[in-house]
Amino acid sequence: MSGRSAARVLVVGVGGLGCPAALALARGGVGTLVLCDDDVVDGSNLHRQILFDESAIGKPKLELAAAALRARVPAVRIEPVATRFLPENALALLREIDVVVEGSDNFPTKFLVADACALAGVPVVHGAAVRWHGTALAVGAAGGPCYRCLFEDIPHEHVANCAEAGVLGPVVGVVGALQADLALRVHDGGEPIGTLETYDGRADRLRTHRVPARSTCELCGTRELRVIERSRYVAEGPCAP
């Protein structure tokens, strides 16, 4: 595997998770960050989106995030892509990508990223945070265990996201840093595949679990993949929390 300076990491969502993850990746020596988002900065999110300040409210996240990252890590190359991660562009976004860091705030995007990465053979680190709790999961290029081993499909019942339930800014920062760490370890040839990091901000407790692969998983199990065909849903709302 090539060195970090030659690495290309796709960050899906430049929000509460994507901002700290992108900064940690840049400072960790990643050569190119491809940022995927089409949203603008919202004042209610500034407590967790560390690349922005009050002057950024209402402006496109991509331009400001790219400028902030270049200012702090001049060596990093930023490729902004002003779009959501969608079924029609998923595989194109994954071309020549070494690792994906997924920081979306909705289940359709999370499952689409999981499915598309499995089809393209690209490792991905998923992240999520709400209230006091956050998780980061590393999935290898060969699949299993994968995101669908934990969550079989999009929940039918309503699940409150961070916009509805709230989230502590430091918790999101910790999870973004965990995602960056897992992504760097995956790229460097480490063995974090199937590692699930869970962080409890109230108790200040970090735990590491190994996720078992499910033989009946529709994505990485023994069944035939029908990834993009099964993922013909479009994410509701922006990519980034």
Question: Comparing C-alpha atoms, which of 96, 84, 65, 98 is closest to residue 183?
Answer: 98
| CB count in 10 Å sphere of residue 114 | 27
Quick one: tokens of 78? 């930023």
Distance CA 67, CA 63 (A): 6
The phi-psi region of residue 131 (left if phi > 0; otherwise alpha if psi is between -120 and 50; otherwise beta) is left
| CB count in 10 Å sphere of residue 185 | 17
Per-residue exposure over 117-126, b if at least 16 CB sit within 10 Å of its own CB, e if not: bbbbebbbbb
3-class DSSP state for residue 114? Answer: helix
Q: Which residues sit opposite 233 in a β-bridge?
A: none
Active site residue 220: no
Helices (H), 188-234: 227-230
Q: Which of 19, 146, 162, 239 is catalytic?
A: 162
Distance CA 62, CA 230 (A): 30
- Tell me the catalytic residues: 162
